[in-house]
Structures are given as structure tokens and as C-alpha cells.
Amino acid sequence: MTMRIPQCDPKASYLAHKVEIDAAIGAVLERGRYILGPEVEAFEREFAAYLGVEHSVGVASGTDALTLALRACQVKAGDGVLTVSHTAVATVAAIELAGAVPVLVDIDPANFCVDSNALEDAVSRDWGVPLKAVIAVHLYGHPADMPAVMAIARSHGLAVIEDCAQSHGASVCGRMTGAWGDMAAFSFYPTKNLGALGDGGAVATNDPRLAERVRLLREYGWRERYVSSLAGMNSRLDELQAAILRVKLRYLDRDNAQRRELGSVYNKVLTDTNLGLPGTSEAAVHVYHQYVVRSAQRDRLRDWLREQGVGTLIHYPQPVHTQPAYRGRIPHAGLDRTEAAVREILSLPMYPELTLEQASEVGQLAAAFSGR
Ligand SMILES: *Cc1c(COP(=O)(O)O)cnc(C)c1O
């Protein structure tokens, strides 16, 4: 069923920049260089400058960015990596792809990101595996509490990798997400705040040696062509996606500003309803990758909105530790707040081409269901 107002609309983003994107694609096709060429190099420079870091390395997806970041940080088979269960499964899948063991901790329900007390607790427990790193996920576009995460990780000698797949342009204490940890992983899946028209990802870091390791690992460990100095893989970013991303990067701040406007429309229309609204921590700049409300009658609210032609999604319907592939075998701390959130969350329509009027209408429909 197509919705009058969909939950997301990646085609609208293409159409909004069609002339520039078509020209960028045409130029790449004519140039005849299709993998790891001048567009990728230019995008890597521009994206690093945007983040305020020294290096960014284009890779094939956000999942690969996380996996390669873990490998670059020398996380080895059997090492433990702390993260949350309330995230895209990719965060946990990447830890296992690197051969490591995910150890999952609970979230702070105020912003759906890792709870620093739960993290503090988890780092000093014996999990039967040596803990080597933390992946802090900036979920829904809200930054995790990076000052606390960095302090905890540093005092226990853990590497910090930021999962920025949902937080392009978000910041906390005046510093961009992606510029806090040892490394950061970005996804450019089409619906992300910075989205390509296919798969793509990037790793960001200030450390030239870590950047160099990712550069080698993404192409078979080649320093010299056809001679592997590290056991790597193929995770290259292609020129078409890089050219498209260079266009889209120029509009990222404007798009995020529109997402924030949409967020304030929702906040305004939905105050005084019985819905739980997303908070923004002090010192945080939220980029509303998703606008997520909580309702005890979530499934009925979702059906009601669908009947009105309004699309919603649940990010995510099952925490990773209860999904069939992971159930019963992933070490985790108490995850009561994760499990409670998952029953109540609902992502309302959110994308930069959504109009303020449409957001107001969606908010009023949700408010009519929820009672003022
Ligand atoms: C999208 C996403 C990823 C994975 O990115 P892909 O490009 O789809 O591999 C990882 N973590 C989070 C939080 C995501 O939202």
C-alpha cells in the first residue's frame, strides 16, 4: 500500500537535486574511471573537512566501515566489544564479522543511546573475553554522551568507535559526532541523512596510521597493486556514489536544519498528548534521522495512521539479542530499558522533503488518536 505521506522518501531527495546529480553522474561516466578515482578522493577530503577530522576513507557500506574500523584498531578474534542491543543489527553484525564478541548494555531512555552508568558497570565486569573497544551508536540522530563514553573507555584502555550511520552532522559539546572516538563509521545508505543512490560508507579518524590501515584493508591489503601486505578484503566506494555524495554533502546542513524544523513542529503539536516525545540532551545538536515517539498503544496508533495514509516504521521491532540469529548466545547486561522501549517506539515520517504542513498534519492525526 503506498502512503499519502510515506515514512521516508529517498527518491524525493534525488529529485530535489536531480540536475546536479545527473550532471555529476554524466561526468563520471564520461571520464571512464569507475572505482576509487578522483571523485572518491575529493569526497574523502570534503567529508573529513566537514567533520573536522584529518582523514576519511570511503568504503562499500556502513557495516564494512564498522568492521574495518574494528580491524584497524587491532580488535582480534575473541576480543570483546561493548555496544547496545537497541541499534541496527549491522552494529552487532560488524563486531562478529571482525571475529569479535559483542557485549550488549542498556540504553538511556531519555535519548535511546548507551547509558553511561550501564557502560561503567559493564567495563568492570568479567565477561570471559578481554574487552578491547566500545562502539557508541548515535541513534536516531541524537549523539551518545561522548564525554562520558570517552572517559570510561580511556580509564579502561578501550578503543572507541562511533557508529555515525544515523548522525551525519550531529554534534555534542560543539564537536561533531565522528570526531570524538579513535575512529568513526558512516553509512550512506539512501535513507540516511547523507545518502547515496546505492550502498556506501566511510571511516573517519584523526590518526594517520589507522586511516592507512583502513585504506589497505579495503582493497586486499594492497600497498602495491597485486601484492597484499595485509590480509584485506574488497570494500571499495565507487566513483558514481562518491560523485553523488559530493553533491548531497553540500546540502547536508540545510537538510538537517529542515529535519530539526520538522522535529519542532512535531514537538509542538504533540505536547500535551500521552505520547512520549524524543528528548535532546543539553549540549547536543540532534539531526533527527528519525523522530521517534513512545506510546503504550503503539500498534493501534500505527494502524490508525496507516488508515489515514501515513507511513510509519519501527526502528527496531526486536532488540538484537532477541533476534533468532543472536538469541541465547550474545553476552549482555540487564536490558530492561531496551526491551521496554522496543514495545513502545514508533518512527513518524521524517525526511527533508517533508513539508512543515505535512508534519503538522501527521502530528495532529497522532494527537487525535492519543487524546489531548
Ligand atoms: C544503517 C546503519 C548501519 C549499517 O549501514 P549499511 O550501510 O546499511 O551497512 C550501521 N549502524 C546503524 C546504526 C545504521 O543505522
Residues 157-200: tens digit of each pLDDT: 999 999 999 999 999 999 999 999 999 999 999 999 999 999 99
Q: pLDDT (tens digit, 9 = 90+) per residue, 251-309?
A: 999 999 999 999 999 999 999 999 999 998 889 999 999 999 999 999 999 999 999 99
1: pLDDT strictly greater than 90: no
264: cell is: 519542532
Asked whether residue 209 is domain-assigned, the answer is yes
Residue 232 CA, distance from chain mean position: 24
DSSP 53-91: -SEEEEES-HHHHHHHHHHHTT--TT-EEEEESSS-HHH
- Residues 134 and 106: beta-carbon distance below 8 Å: no
For a mutational test of ligand 1's pocket, the pick from 63, 87, 135, 199, i.e. the residue with the most ligand atoms closer than 8 A to its C-beta, is: 63
The last residue of one of the domains, among 193, 228, 249, is: 249
Answer yes or no: is 4 within a domain.
no
% the chain with pLDDT above 70: 99
| 4 pLDDT higher than 80 | yes
Residue 177 included in any domain: yes
- Of 238, 236, 233, nearest to 98 by C-alpha is 233
Q: How many A from CA of 91 to the centre of ligand 1? A: 7
What CATH number has the domain bearing residue 64?
A: 3.40.640.10
Atom of ligand 1 nearest to the CA of 139: 13
CB atoms within 10 A of CB 212: 15
- For the chain, helix, strand, coil in percent to 5 are 40, 20, 40
Domain limits at 58?
10-249
Residues 53 and 14 in one domain: yes
Assigned C-alpha cell, 27? 561526468
Q: Tally the C-alpha atoms within 13 A of residue 266's C-alpha that lie toward its C-beta.
A: 25
The 8-class DSSP code of residue 225 comes to T
Pairing relationship of beta strands 171-172 and 284-285 according to DSSP bridges: antiparallel
Domain end, chosen from 215, 249, 283, is at 249
Question: Does a cis peptide bond (omega within 30 degrees of 0) precede residue 316?
Answer: yes
Q: Which atom of ligand 1 is nearest to the CA of 166?
A: 15
Of ligand 1's listed atoms, the one at least distance from the Cα of 64 is 9
pTM above 0.85, yes or no: yes
Rounded to the nearest angstrom, the distance between the alpha carbon of 65 and the centre of ligand 1 is 9
In whole angstroms, give the CA distance from residue 156 to residue 151: 9
- 185 and 260 in one domain? no
Residue 5 lies in a domain: no
Give the DSSP per-residue string, 325-355.
TTTTTS-B---HHHHHHHHHEEEE---TTS-
Residues 338 and 238 in one domain: no
pLDDT of residue 2: 86
Please tell me the total count of domains within the chain.
Answer: 2
Calculate mean pLDDT across residues 217-229.
96
The answer on 204 and 141 residing in a single domain is yes
pLDDT band at residue 371 using 50, 70 and 90 as cut-offs: low
Distance 294 CA to ligand 1 centre (A): 23
- Region 35-55: mean pLDDT is 98
User: Separation of 165 CA from ligand 1 center, angstroms?
Assistant: 5
pLDDT band at 203 (very low <50, low <70, confident <90, very high): very high
Place of cell 513512545: 294
Q: Which of 131, 200, 143, 197 is nearest to 168 (CA)?
A: 143
Q: Are strands 107-108 and 113-114 parallel, antiparallel or unpaired?
A: antiparallel
End-of-domain residue from the set 201, 228, 249: 249
* Cβ neighbours for 344, distance < 8 A, ≥ 6 positions apart: 276, 294, 295, 296, 298
| Residue pair 294/275 in contact by the 8 Å Cβ criterion | yes
Task: Check residue 370 and give its pLDDT.
Answer: 77
